Amino acid sequence: MARTLTGVVTSDKPNKTVIISVTARKTHPLYKKQYTASTKFMVHDEKNEAKVGDLIVVTETRPLSARKHFSLIKILQRAGAHFEETDAIADVLVEEAPEPSTGSKAKAAKEKSTKTEKARKET
Q: Which of 24, 64, 21 is nearest to 40 (CA)?
A: 21
Question: Which residue ranges make up each domain of the chain?
Answer: 4-77
Task: Kindly report, residue by residue over 54-109, the tens digit of the pLDDT.
Answer: 999 999 999 999 999 999 999 999 987 655 556 656 555 556 655 555 556 666 66
For 12, counting Cβ atoms within 10 Å of its Cβ (0-12 exposed, 13-18 middle, 19+ buried), the class is: middle
In this structure, which CATH number among 1.10.10.10, 3.40.50.360, 1.20.1560.10, 2.40.50.140 belongs to the domain 4-77?
A: 2.40.50.140
pLDDT, averaged across the chain: 84
pLDDT, residue 36, reads 97
Residue 119 sits at φ, ψ, to 5 deg, of -65, -35
Q: What's the rounded Cα separation, in Å, for the pair 2 and 55?
A: 19
Q: Which residues contact 4 (CB under 8 A, 6 or more apart)?
A: 57, 58, 59, 60, 73
Query: What pLDDT score was predicted for residue 115?
Result: 66
